[in-house]
Every structure is written in C-alpha cells, then in structure tokens.
Structure 1
C-alpha cells in the first residue's frame, strides 16, 4: 500500500476509534463531523484500488455511508432516520453494483451464503411486522442489505476479509432496526457502531486485497521507477 494510502487508512482507523471512545461523552460539538470522515477516506482508498466503474460504485457506496453516518449522528438517531435509511440504501445499492462487477465470471452459489440467508429470513419475519409505519422502507432496505451480502459472498474464492466485513455490516444495520423497532437493548449504540466500523474497515481491506490488475501494474511501475 503506497504511503498516501497508508496514511489515509491509518487516519480513518484512528478517527473511527476516537469516535467510539468518545461515545460516552455525547452529545459533544462536531461529533456529526467526526463520524463520517473515515467513510470518506475509505471511499478514496476503494476508488484508487479499482479505477473505473467498480471504483466509482464502491466510492459512491462509502460516500453514501458517510452521509448516513451524518444523518444518524446529527439527527440523534431519530430526527433524520428516513434520511439516514435512504443514504444507507444508496450505500447498499452501490456496493451491490460494485461487488457484482468484481465477481463477474464467478459462481452464483456458495455455501457461505447459507448463514446470511437464514439470518435475513428470520430477521425479516421478526422485524418487518414490528416496524409499523416503516414496514415497506424497512423491507426494501433488508432486501438490499441481503443482496449486498450475497454479492460480497461471490467476490472472494475463499472466505476472507470482504465476506467478514459484509457480514458485520449486515449485523450492524440489522441491530439498528432491532433496537429501534423490535427490542431495545443495553449498550446498543457502542455495539452497533463497533460492528459497523469494523465491518466497513474489513470491506475496504478486502476490496484492496482484490485490487484491480491495472492498479497493481501502475503501483509496480511507480515502485520500479528510479527516484530522481
């Protein structure tokens, strides 16, 4: 990983951990700014790893995640919930497109899809009826979340970072719905944020591990060039 990208990744991780550490002190000024920055840095890393359509899709996904983070934090997780849900829906759709392009030519069915399929079915049966007026938006979102997870399962030949990150992302987003609509639970916010941030971090690491061949060639060329 080039020095610029290492710095971006390190800054994203440090800021994400800082947000987690400061959760007990909320509300505090500019927390709504601190939370989205790691996702914006991940957008840069994903775009640089996959030039072209895939990088654009992944970059849009992380930018949309940053917008969702902003709406959840600035809206105190209630006032701007629909805006946050819409932003994360764009996040899921962009990831679906990006992962599908990364998985071109790979099998459509893998055994690792089974756990997330069962989890998604049980979640939908429990959560959608409990969502009240939000039943349709929640159902659509859960379907897209499931589709994102399935596309992530197709990318890697073996279970890896991208798959694990997508699974944690599914857990984090589903716990938001569970806590809001079905069964509020203790320490919900730190658990959700930890799962979400870890999941997104693993996704960007997995994306970079499956780096586009043209990006790999360009990096090797830069490394091979003598410094003047």
Structure 2
C-alpha cells in the first residue's frame, strides 16, 4: 500500500496494479464497474457522501491531472455499495470512513470535511501508515485464494476503502486518458515497458 505522506501518481499506479489480483479474487468484475457507472438510488446519506469525497480527494487530489473527485470516484464508490458490496463489506467500509471522522474530531475537534486540505493530508498520512502496517495472517487460505490474497494489514477496512478509491480512479475515463494509455482487449501484444516520467502505463479492465 502507498504511504500518502509521500503520494504521487506513479506510486498510486503501482499500488493499483498490485491490487488487481486481490480485487479479482473479491469478485469485483467488469460488470460491477459497469453497474457502478449507472448506480440508481444512492446508498450513502449526504453527510457520508461528503466525507467520502473528502477522503478520496485527500488520497488522490487534483494536480496537473484530474483527481478522484474529478473522476466521479465517490459516486462510483456509492454505486458499488448498492450493486456489489455485501452487507459485511458495507458495514466495514462505512465503519472505516466513520473512524477517520472520529480521528479528526479527537485530534482537531473538527469533522474531517471541515479540515483544511493540508490538515486532512497530515492526519490521513499518519492513519494510513498505522492502518496498513503488515500483521501476521490469521485466516487460513488455500489454493487460488491464497495465491490471490493481498497482504494482511492492521486495518482491513481502511485498506479496502483505499483500494477501491484507487482502483475506481485508475479505471476511470479521466485517468485512462490523462495518465494511462488505454488499449482495448483483445488487441496487439506489447511487451512490458518500464514506467518512467516519459511513459504512460497501459490501463483498462482487460487487466482481468
């Protein structure tokens, strides 16, 4: 997972690519993304949606390229809660957001959305490091699930929240047209090319 205290687009991209296997194992299919793009009735109430938007904007802010809010990540995330997430996942993800808000109240006596961008980043950076600290795995996975499982971390709820924000961003039209090169699959084969400041990685649901 990426330390957002030193966040940049390429490190986030590396994170997203590492998470592809874990996401496929969790059942987040192209169909789920398609449903997310046209989600019906919102799942989150307005206050929770505003909190989600502030968290997403802190993880992937707008720079010289669009940020998570520009890519409509909060709306797509909400639609995943409606169309894809199990009741357990909904509780876990909502709890992760609420915990960030409680942390802001404890430390700054303000809601997370009320903090200045620099304050949000500082608070979330420390929380990110603590939450994504590797811990021994307690579940016993076998076969394909063991191969595809992501790392075991101290706060799985926050890890899933961040994972979905990053993936929804990098599978968005905004990211695919400004930071990645989209190649429709099936298509021509291109050998691996090292990511440098002069190159753009290939992205798209064909990774599945």
TM category (shorter chain) comes to 0.3 to 0.5
Choose between structure 1 and 2 for higher RCO, CA contacts under 8 A separated by at least 6 residues. Answer: 2
Please say which structure displays the higher CA radius of gyration: 1
Give the TM-score taking structure 2 as reference length.
0.34
Which structure's residues are more often helix, by fraction? Answer: 1
Give the TM-score taking structure 1 as reference length.
0.32
